[in-house]
């Protein structure tokens, strides 16, 4: 089997995952970048890691980081500008109601682009998670949208070697984020060159979407650039292990990734709060492999025929068969 | 106060509302069009009614209908093609997987356009509620989207005097509808002249949206053409009386309708299953009037200043004041 | 393998499933009881059928029905009093705010008990779906609870040969039903002899519950009497085919049914609106068999050890293994 | 107007609210207990504050704390055992799968009871938020329930002067908490003396409940002991300012609190992440006063009559009238 995709992980997957109640983290992970990297290397099949600006990479350590990852044979697959871990972004980043903050946010992204370029990484992940509102009457929706467009445009023009990806999410940390779903991100990016979408499939689920449908819509708009994988209960971004809940939807997603000829990164964005980090990542990768194997051994044509029938009974048999049972005769 | 909007209702508001358990309806409404019209006329302030094709208007009765409504001084504000009440649409209408059905659906819309033209009604409401899927692996998302675009385009070109509006909804009757949220409908209609969006605010709530944000995004895309009003619990299209739950969000919506200079129809799409129909519509209209009065006596500038502040404490005081309390000093 | 459970279906599974938009039904099913029975008989492994009072069984046809099912070798596994298909129950049945309606509802249940007794059926299914409210300020919660208890108590004492089961549901047809979740039904039935719970697993999912946890809590309270099987997206009672979405949770449910030594009916309550009815039921049964086979070949002890570990990584491997993959070494 | 309730707040309301992204907090609050107390004192009408064990009160500082609050004229209305801020509780506290952890948790509660007794505070708030599971197959539901009962029983017997309250929540920090809704907490506490429920109304909303119905059910079981107030969007525990979204349901809640003769604490459990803390608390109190005033000036009998009618049209008019509009004639 020729592997057409690369497997990655966000570095904090191997850190001490915290939530708003246990702020010091549930532990079992590394504290420093080096410790997290050491854990990551134990995961069979890992090709790359995502780094967060300032936290993991900055002007002072950039040459060190480049050498560290090169020496360890791990690609840096994404630089994530920090637009969401500091109080100064509380009221928003690139769409903040205050011009000064917006300027800082664009500056932050440009710095990340510089670092990405220097590290040979082709993407930055702009996640405007703080850009939104918590209450009715708290946002000027028209202004916010203009500002989002302007900022993305400015950043996208900054360096053609680094593509600006935008990650959408319905909510959290705000109760409402502006760039909330797949169609919104397409509207946002339309006509802006050197951009694309980072599809976090858990964000898609939590936005009430079907992951595969989201991927197809992005591909039709030439914006399916990168994927984050995890799972949840469709209500919140729980960042569970891959395919722990939505096995059927995950099978469908993999079918569509193959059909859409997606050949990019499949990167874990899981928060294994209470789990050992290495097997959490390893189990997620094993699920990905298992799902690909199931789709491939079933055959694309057979699946396509079921889809064309639009018949739920055909679907029921197909899924049962893919998971080890038998279809009706 | 100069009234800039018109108040309407879907005719079935005055019928015998049924659900999947009580198929003969909970009663208290009219059975025939004439009976429903008689009830509707008792509602103070009603300007227009929506009719469903075939059920209320057809080739045989069209002249009669025109005269009936003219004589009663009630405008026909919308013709709704029937793409969802018959078994033949079960697998979809304009995006059905079968070419024959798609053709029938387009034909149905064109007939509705003819009737609308003859009745002097400027809109048809295309609601592709049956176009979607219930299970993973049941839909070809790429094909469906192409078909939706093609059908809307063909219908929009048919008669320039009648605008083709598309109504989005996340789910029901399918567990997933293709045209599920506000940004999707904008993507669908982009570049197709003589179209617009019918924003059903309950569909917006049930899609996890803020109603005002949806309206603003549509207006920025020049697609805010018509509104359906009702309320629900953000999980399902309950079609409750206007403002029965989301008073604060409704206040915000009215502010934005004024700011966006929306001057079209505000039409009830409520299902008063167990209620007397006339006071159900009347109460909904009274809420609309009350909300407009609250916004107008508060003043647009004062509200805009709170929005500009983005300060939840300012918001809290403003809302309390609008509902009869006092803001903090 | 010794089969410890019986497979049933609600008779309307084989009827023309309708919803509030397509009131005449999407078709493909039978119209009369006899037609539906003929379809049901084609389903391999079907042991019994549920009948709805008045619609399927009444004073006039009861001997005919008894003979019909005996001749066809199909058990009648449940009689369901009709407390939800007629306008007279719109404001509630056994907890209606009006004494006359409550009396009628109790009378309806007693008639169903009589019919059940005559048909040799050991259960009636009291589903107080109309007992609830749609709006705040519309229900006297204290009175409603008292009335629910009184009615259940009166019915339970009526005939010791027929057990009164209560089915809970969060919403639909009301936006809020009083008997909304598993713990509520336990509170309701505490201390009332000759009662039990009908656990509709789709209602459990749509109430935000884990199905297996609900079953365990009922069993600990000796109230796990009967199961309805179907599936949905955790938001609404979609009545999809068994295990079409929640394969993992279904595996867990089957494990728990075995552990709890549940040996009663597993009855389909699916609404295959757009599907051929016989394969819809057949596929559901095949899923049940497949799930049992997976649990049994994995072994109860192995599963219990994973549960005792409380380790998500062990869980991830176990589930992957049960579905045809491999656990981590 | 004779005030029958007392107004309180959780001390961290005045701290630097953090979430899982911004772990150092969004700021604007105090860092030390003394700083938070100083802010709290600025809130007009504040009667008491809740303290968290170990963080705010411990063996070393208990006399100091007692004097500090006495000197400042602020009551300590609740001691909250810390069962959720440290990694050691990650897999659970009183229902953890490991005996050692359960023992520690009970010990923690007893220490809190001692401190409460010494501080003249009548309650501890046991919130088993870490007791639950994130994945199917991760919990032994039967064991967990037994352990919960045993632990509550042991703690309740420890000191008759301090009542053990249990706070329920559907999820967070676990994706599923065992004590998830109002009926579950009633089942848990049945027959155990010296216990009660702390009803966090936001937890009730996020569990799909109506707050007033939850309060009524608790009162009927003599378990309505204490209230936490905040607001959210019914999906997550957003801890927004009081009545910022659910004005209508809040009106109904206040009506029921009066009808149920609840005369205890109304304590804020808000997380004003991005807001100035003092006005956030002040606005919440002003909403409470406004809502009480609206109910009182409307009159209990008038409201009760509307409830008895069960008529949504009566409800619609009543609510509009309570918020400054007019009912239908």
State pLDDT tens for residues A193-245: 999 999 999 999 999 999 999 999 999 999 999 999 999 999 999 999 999 99
- What does pTM read for this prediction? 0.98
The pLDDT value recorded for residue D130 is: 98
pLDDT of residue B28 exceeding 90, the answer is no
- How many Å apart are CA D48 and CA C200, to the nearest integer? 45
Which DSSP string corresponds to A28-44?
A: SSBSSHHHHHHHHHTST
- Contact state of B20 with C20 under an 8 Å Cβ cutoff: yes
Q: What proportions of chain C, in percent to the nearest 5, are helix, strand and coil?
A: 45, 15, 40
Answer whether residue B12 is part of any domain. Answer: yes
Beta strands in chain B (DSSP E): 6-10, 48-52, 75-80, 123-126, 132-133, 163-167, 176-177, 195-200, 224-229, 265-268
* pLDDT > 70 in chain C, percent: 99
- How open is the CA angle C267-C273-C278, to the nearest 5 degrees? 55
- Nearest CA among D175, D225, D234 for reference residue D202: D234
Band (pLDDT 50/70/90 cuts) for residue D201 is very high
3-state secondary structure of B87: helix
Q: Nearest CB to B287: which of D244, D276, D320?
A: D320
For residue B23, tell me if it sits in a domain. yes
Is 60 exceeded by the pLDDT of residue C256? yes
Q: Taking 90 as the threshold, does the pLDDT of residue D257 lie above it?
A: yes
Q: What is the pLDDT of residue A1?
A: 52
- Residue A1 falls inside a structural domain: no
pLDDT surpassing 90 at residue D3: no
Q: Interface partners of C (3+ CB pairs, < 8 Å)?
A: A, B, D
User: What pLDDT score was predicted for residue A232?
Assistant: 98
One domain for residues D129 and D63: yes
Residues A50 and A80 in one domain: yes
Give the span between the Cα atoms of C258 and C5, in whole angstroms. Answer: 10
User: Using one digit for the tens of pLDDT, what is the confidence trace for B42-59?
Assistant: 999 999 999 999 999 999
Residue A78: the pLDDT is 98
Token representation of residue B162? 């009648």
pLDDT at C224 over 70: yes
Q: Is the same domain home to C315 and C177?
A: no
Mean pLDDT for the stretch of residues A266-273 = 98
Predicted pLDDT of residue C104: 98
What is the predicted pLDDT for the residue at B39? 98
* Max intra-chain CA distance, chain D: 66
User: Contact at 8 Å (CB) between A131 and A93?
Assistant: yes
Q: What is the pLDDT of residue A66?
A: 98
CATH of the domain at B118: 3.20.20.150
The separation between CA B264 and the C-alpha centre of its own chain, rounded to angstroms, equals 12
Q: Are residues C87 and C156 in the same domain?
A: yes
Kindly state whether residue B1 falls inside one of the protein's structural domains. Answer: no
Cβ-based interface (< 8 Å): residues of D facing A: 18-27, 84-87, 89-91, 129, 134-136, 171-173, 175, 232-233, 235-236, 238, 240-241, 244-245, 271, 273-274
Place of tokens 């207006």: B219
Written as six digits, the tokens of D297 are 């000036």
Q: Terminus-to-terminus CA distance in chain C, angstroms?
A: 30
Does residue C321 fall inside a structural domain? yes
* Rounded CA separation B134/B173 (Å): 9
Q: How confident is the model at residue B1 (pLDDT cuts 50, 70, 90)?
A: low
Question: B175 and B256 in one domain?
Answer: yes
CA B256 – CA B242 distance, rounded (Å): 17
- Closest chain A residue to D89, measured at CA: A26
Mutate to test the interface with B, among A95, A100, A141 (most CBs of B within 10 A): A141
Residue C38 CA to residue C23 CA, distance in Å, equals 23
- Does residue B324 register a pLDDT over 70? yes
Please, are residues D36 and A104 in contact by the beta-carbon 8 Å criterion?
A: no
Task: Give the chain B residue whose CA is nearest to the CA of A303.
Answer: B137
Strands C6-10 and B6-10: unpaired
Q: How far does C158 lie from chain A, in Å, by closest CA?
A: 43
How close is the nearest chain B Cα to the Cα of A312, in Å? 7
Distance from CA of residue B290 to its chain's centroid? 20
Q: State whether ipTM is beyond 0.90.
A: yes
Instruction: Tell me the helix, strand and coil percentages in chain A, rounded to 5.
Output: 45, 15, 40
Regarding whether A110 and A217 lie in a shared domain, the answer is yes
Q: Is C27 left (phi over 0), alpha (psi -120 to 50) or beta?
A: left
Q: Residue B301 CA to chain centroid, in angstroms?
A: 29
Average pLDDT on A151-172 reads 98
- Reported confidence tier of residue B14, pLDDT bands at 50, 70, 90: very high
C206 and C231 inside one domain: yes
Q: Which range of residues forms the domain containing residue D313?
A: 299-329
Task: Tell whether C69 and C147 lie within a shared domain.
Answer: yes
The answer to whether the beta carbons of residues D268 and D242 sit under 8 Å apart is yes
- Per the structure, how many domains does chain A have? 2
C327, with CB counted inside 10 A (0-12, 13-18, 19+), is middle
Residue with tokens 């059909």: A259
Distance CA A183, CA D244 (A): 29
Give the pLDDT score at D70: 98
* Predicted pLDDT of residue B231: 98
Residues of C near A (Cβ–Cβ under 8 Å) read 233-235, 240-241, 243-245, 247-249, 272, 274-276, 279-280, 282-284, 286-287, 290, 293-294, 311-313, 315-317, 319-320, 323-326, 328
Interchain pair C275, A313: CB under 8 A: yes
What is the percent of chain C where pLDDT is above 90? 98
Confidence bin at D2 (pLDDT 50/70/90): low
Q: Which secondary-structure segment (H or E) carries D193? A: none
Q: Do C312 and A234 touch (CB under 8 A)?
A: no
Across D191-212, average pLDDT: 98
H or E element, residue C33: helix C33-41
Model pLDDT, residue C28: 85
pLDDT at C2: 58
**Average per-residue pLDDT for chain C:** 97
- Cβ distance A187 to B184 less than 8 Å, yes or no, reads no
Mean pLDDT in residue range B98-115: 98
CA within 13 Å, CB half, C75: 16
Nearest-CA distance D187 → chain C (Å): 7
Q: Is the pLDDT of residue B269 over 80?
A: yes
Is there a single domain that holds both residue D285 and residue D313? no
Helix axes D277-298, B312-322, angle to 10 degrees: 10
On whether residue D1 sits in a domain, the answer given is: no
Of the candidates C91, C77, C31, C39, the one whose C-alpha atom is nearest the C-alpha of residue C55 is C31
Distances (CA, A) of A285 to A4, A8, A38, A310, C326: 14, 9, 18, 31, 12
- Is residue C81 located within the same domain as residue C100? yes
Q: Is there a domain that residue B133 lies in?
A: yes
Domain identity same for A321 and A264: no
A245:C244 CB<8 A: no
Is C245–A244 a contact, with Cβ atoms under 8 angstroms apart? no
Of B85, B86, B235, the CB nearest to C235: B235
Domain membership of residue A119 (yes or no) is: yes
Do you find a cis peptide bond into B32, omega within 30 degrees of 0? Answer: no
List residues bridging with A199 in a β-sheet. A227
Closest chain D residue to B240, measured at CA? D312
A104 and A56 in a single domain? The answer is: yes
Q: Which chains touch A (3 or more CB pairs under 8 A)?
A: B, C, D
Residue C255 has pLDDT above 90, yes or no: yes
Contacts of D233 in chain B (CB under 8 A): 234
């Amino acid at each position: 089997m020729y592997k057409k995709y690369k497997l990655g992980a966000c570095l904090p997957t191997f850190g001490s995952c915290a939530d708003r109640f246990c702020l010091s983290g549930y532990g079992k992970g590394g504290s420093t970048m080096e410790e997290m990297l050491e854990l990551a290397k134990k995961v069979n099949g890992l090709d790359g890691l995502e780094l967060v600006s300032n936290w993991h990479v900055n002007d002072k350590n950039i040459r060190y980081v480049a050498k560290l990852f090169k020496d360890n044979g791990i690609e840096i697959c994404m630089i994530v500008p920090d637009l969401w871990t500091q109080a100064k972004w509380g009221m928003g980043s690139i769409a903040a109601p205050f011009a000064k903050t917006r300027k800082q946010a664009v500056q932050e992204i440009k710095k990340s682009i510089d670092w990405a370029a220097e590290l040979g990484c082709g993407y930055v992940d702009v996640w405007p998670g703080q850009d939104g509102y918590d209450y009715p009457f708290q946002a000027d929706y028209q202004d916010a949208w203009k500002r989002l467009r302007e900022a993305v445009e400015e950043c996208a023009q900054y360096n053609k070697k680094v593509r600006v990806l935008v990650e959408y999410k319905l909510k959290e940390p705000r109760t409402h984020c502006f760039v909330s779903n797949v169609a919104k991100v397409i509207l946002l990016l339309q006509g802006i060159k050197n951009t694309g979408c980072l599809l976090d499939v858990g964000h898609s689920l939590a936005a009430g979407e079907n992951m595969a449908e989201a991927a197809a819509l992005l591909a039709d708009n030439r914006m399916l650039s990168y994927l984050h994988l995890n799972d949840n209960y469709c209500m919140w971004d729980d960042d569970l292990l891959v395919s722990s809940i939505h096995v059927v939807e995950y099978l469908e997603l993999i079918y569509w990734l193959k059909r859409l000829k997606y050949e990019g990164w499949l990167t874990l964005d899981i928060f294994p709060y209470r789990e050992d980090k290495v097997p959490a990542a390893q189990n997620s990768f094993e699920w990905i492999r298992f799902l690909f194997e199931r789709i491939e051994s079933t055959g694309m044509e057979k699946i396509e025929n079921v889809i064309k029938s639009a018949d739920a009974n055909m679907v029921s048999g197909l899924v049962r068969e893919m998971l080890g049972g038998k279809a009706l005769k």
